[in-house]
Chains A and B, each alone.
Chain A
Amino acid sequence: AQSVTQLDSQVPVFEEAPVELRCNYSSSVSVYLFWYVQYPNQGLQLLLKYLSGSTLVKGINGFEAEFNKSQTSFHLRKPSVHISDTAEYFCAVTQGLGFQKLVFGTGTRLLVSP
């Protein structure tokens, strides 16, 4: 079964600094990868997804992620964060026949301070 590791439970950063949130997954077989964001008291919203093609994927709100098959990683980056980026971020990978189910990491809380 697939597993997803988000090693950093919390990442504090100052406003306008760059940030990287790390995600590693267990399987080297073909997978689809996702990053979701959860703002306080809300459901999850898709930031970006990797299905195939270019390994650098751009998403909403200036975020991007790089798929690295040899490292089985899909790290999320933003060159300059805002206070409004304070949220919890979840990495997810497909599992199962037909890629219908997702396995989620435990989440990384991004704390942006002035």
Chain B
Amino acid sequence: DVKVTQSSRYLVKRTGEKVFLECVQDMDHENMFWYRQDPGLGLRLIYFSYDVKMKEKGDIPEGYSVSREKKERFSLILESASTNQTSMYLCASSPSTGANEQFFGPGTRLTVL
């Protein structure tokens, strides 16, 4: 079974803190994604990585950065958390060939106070 795990299910941080969200996949997938999910807005792509150390901005990259030092791990970084970054964050992975499905982790619900 493909498994995508995220480091925390729930996280509470204070405004201005640096926040790290970690995602690990065990299927040797080339592609990894970070989305945020907000009611009424669906899933919006923050960043996409298609290889180690390679990244591409998604639709809403402002206020976020990413790191992919190893193939299986993709980190999302909030340099200085703000209250408008309170959201559900979903990580996904997919193989690079064909239009294969994306496999999702369980999500991290982040609250910034």
A residues whose Cβ falls under 8 Å from a Cβ of B: 6, 9, 32, 34, 36, 41-46, 49, 51, 90, 94, 98-102, 104-107
Contacts and interface: CB of A to CB of B under 8 A. Distances in A.
A71 B106 CA distance: 34
12 contacts: A41-B107, A42-B106, A43-B104, A49-B99, A49-B101, A99-B98, A101-B58, A104-B35, A104-B42, A104-B44, A105-B42, A106-B42
Interface of B: 4, 31, 33, 35, 40-45, 48, 50, 58, 90, 92, 94, 96, 98-99, 101-102, 104-107
B42 A44 contact: no
Contacts, number: 51
Nearest to B35: A104
Main secondary structure of the interface of A (DSSP, over half): mixed
Given A43-B90, A100-B50, A107-B42, A51 B99 contact: yes
Most buried by B among A36, A41, A44, A102: A44
Contacts of B48: 100-101
Contact of B107 (A43, A46, A105, A107): A43
A100 B31 contact: yes
A104 B58 CA distance: 13
